[in-house]
Amino acid sequence: MTMKRFRFLTSGESHGKSLNAIIEGVPAGIRIKPEIINEELKRRQIGYGRGDRMRIEQDTIEIKSGIRLGKTTGAPICLEIKNKDYANWEDVMSVIGYEYPTEEMLKKIEEKSFTKVRPGHADFAGAKKYNLSDLRDVLERSSARKTAIEVAVGSVAKQILKEFGIVGFSHVVQIGDVKLDFYPKTYTMIKEKAEKSDVRCADEMTADRMRNAIDKAGEVGDTLGGRFEVIFGNIPIGLGSYVHWDQALDGRLAQAVMSIPAIKAVEIGAGVDSAHLRGSQMHDEIFVGRNKETYRQTNNAGGIEGGISNGETLVVKGTMKPIPTMKKALSTVDLKNNTSALAHFERSDVCAVPACAVVAEARVAIILVDELLTKIGGDNLVEMKAHYGI
């Protein structure tokens, strides 16, 4: 993804020492609170259907640079989350290739090596692409574990957006076959209810059925996917553009959410439902009020028209496939000798849709802050606010 103003890179393996990020382009003078980042990390960790790893980790951020006395200085920000589980993986994940490894080391490495591809995971294509014979080398970076540090980056983005009154949330609308049919009336109500729910669902009865479905899938060694929505309000008109394909806000958001592990579809507003709506039903009519202000009564466009934010609420929907690491092993190939086998299994989640929704919030916030900085410019918060007119 080509970022324009707010750029970052991450590094780290699932069972390596730590996950890291360096963010560049954050203007000076912005208050960043580590405790807010930690709250976001916690939101990503909770969720019904998560595996045992989440009981080991208590993701905590360490800010290593770029912030002094609570505020950004304009310098790059370096973030780190230590993997607690690394203590159990030190030999397996050792950076050093010892010439004379101990028998014990070799045994541990061998135990964690695998060659039986998990269909649906990155194993097959990753092994071929990088010429890796031990699928551990694919798993470690392709794991969704890396989304923890992305949520930390997203939290920095959210804290910038909040200075401009731009705030968002996410909620889960489907897990397996169980769909949310009853939506609370307002976004505030959806947010409050979803935030209290361990499946991020705004209706308690539906949440019960979702938990039930997760239990049932887990009992037979299966996994479940689902759908979620990310909603951001108070977005200014004019983020993104129609002048070039890579500047369209909907296109950028789609890329940002689609590249989260296990995402198979991204929609904006009415999304796939727009296929069966007539033009007269789909498009959000514009009305003019007493004071010449314009308003709409519908938002099928999801806040974007012509690749540009139109001032309405931004609605991004994501569909996650069931996690491919399953106790119920599928037929596959053993890459050691190209023979038929049953897929590798190791500790995993039955369902991670609620966590994925939190990751998607972070990705959306990152794109919004990049677009906001591109539009209003400024090297510090005072300048930015002056440009924004607040």
> Considering beta carbons, is residue 139 or 369 the nearer one to ligand EPS?
139
Q: How many Å separate Cα 190 from the centre of its chain?
A: 20
Residue nearer to ligand EPS on the CB measure, 59 or 305: 59
Sign of CA dihedral 325, 224, 59, 74: positive
For residue 297, give the 3-state DSSP assignment.
coil
- Nearest approach, Cβ of 15 to ligand EPS (angstroms)? 6
β-pairing, 286-288 with 294-296? antiparallel
In the structure encoding, which two tokens stand for residue 356, read together? Answer: 């994925």
Smallest gap, in angstroms, from Cβ of residue 51 to ligand EPS?
Answer: 5
- The answer to whether 207 touches 197, Cβ cutoff 8 Å, is yes
Of 45 and 206, which has the nearer Cβ to ligand EPS?
45
H helix count then E strand count, the chain: 12, 17
Closer residue to ligand EPS (CB): 239 or 362: 362
The distance of closest approach from Cβ of residue 56 to ligand EPS in the complex, given in angstroms and rounded to an integer, is 8
C-alpha 386/C-alpha 86 separation (Å) is 46
Catalog residues that contact ligand EPS under the rule CB under 6 A: 14, 51, 53, 85, 143-145, 147-148, 323, 325, 347-349, 352
Q: How far is the CB of 95 from ligand EPS (least distance, A)?
A: 19
- Point out which residues pair with 380 in neighbouring strands: 28
Identify the three-state secondary structure at position 267. Answer: strand
The two three-digit tokens of residue 341, written as one number: 């086998």
Q: Which is nearer to ligand EPS, 123 or 370 (CB)?
A: 123
Query: Is 148 or 230 the residue whose CB approaches ligand EPS more closely?
Result: 148
Taking the C-alpha atoms of residue 145 and residue 154, their distance in angstroms, rounded to an integer, is 15
Whichever of 148 and 239 has its CB closer to ligand EPS, that residue is 148
Q: How far is the CB of 184 from ligand EPS (least distance, A)?
A: 28
Residue 282: CB minimum distance to ligand EPS, A: 36
Distance of closest approach, residue 340 Cβ to ligand EPS, in angstroms: 23
CB of 87 to ligand EPS, least distance (A): 13
Strand 226-233 to 167-175 pairing: antiparallel
Residue in 4, 6, 2 with CA at minimum distance from that of residue 366: 6
- Please say which residue, 250 or 349, places its beta carbon nearer to ligand EPS: 349
Task: Show Cβ contacts of residue 216 under 8 Å, excluding neighbours closer than 6 positions.
Answer: none
Angstrom distance (rounded) from CA 21 to CA 152:
9
Task: For residue 31, give the DSSP letter.
Answer: B
Instruction: Find out whether 268 and 312 touch, Cβ atoms under 8 Å.
Output: no
**Nearest CB to ligand EPS, comparing residues 147 and 159:** 147
Cβ at position 86, least distance to ligand EPS in Å:
10
DSSP label of 44: H
Please name the amino acid found at residue 236: P
